[in-house]
Amino acid sequence: MTQRNLVCLALALCLTGCQGPGSYSDSSIEGTIPPGFYSPRLPITAMVGAAVYYLYKDNWGVEETKTGGDKFHLTLKKNILRENGDSEAGMIFKRRAGEIATEQGYDGYRIMEYSEGIESTTFGPQRVAQGVIKCYKGAADKK
C-alpha cells in the first residue's frame, strides 16, 4: 500500500466521524458545543486514526537484549506499511549500537554478528536485520 493511499485512508476515517451542522443525536450537549463539532463516532475514529499513525510512523523497530556481560543482541524489523527505507538497517544498527555503548558507559563496541533478510509474516514479507555487539572499555580487545 502506498504512502498516499494510507494518508487518504486515515483522512477518510477521520472525516467519517464528523457530522454536518445541526445533526445532534444527544440533546444533553446542545448549547455547550458548536453544531457539527461533536459526533458519538469521533472518539472511535480518533483511535483508529491514532492506530494507523502509530503503525505507520517509523520505518524500523529495534528490540535489544543484553545477552550477558558486555554483549547485546539487536533485532530490527521494518514496518510492513512503509515502502521506502529498505537499505537503512545497517545504518540504524550501527547508530543504536553506538547509543547502547554510550548509555552503558562503554568506550566503544564491536559487531560480532550481523545478518539481514526477509521473514514471512501474516501480512506479507518483512525485512529484518539482527546482530550481536560486544561493548568494551579502553582499547578494543582483540577477541
> Residues 10-54: pLDDT tens digits?
556 555 554 444 444 555 555 555 555 556 666 777 777 777 766
Options 1.20.120, 3.30.110, 1.10.3470, 3.10.450; CATH for 60-136 is: 3.30.110
Q: What is the pLDDT averaged over residues 60-65?
A: 90
Q: Which of these ranges, 3-17, 64-78, 86-100, has the smallest mean pLDDT?
A: 3-17
* Cell numbers describing residue 54: 502509530
Alpha carbons 14 and 16: distance in angstroms, whole number: 6
- What is the residue extent of each domain of the chain? 3-56, 60-136
Alpha carbons 55 and 126: distance in angstroms, whole number: 14
* Cell numbers describing residue 96: 543504536
Comparing 126 with 85, the larger pLDDT belongs to 126
**The model's pTM:** 0.61
Report the mean per-residue pLDDT for the chain. 77
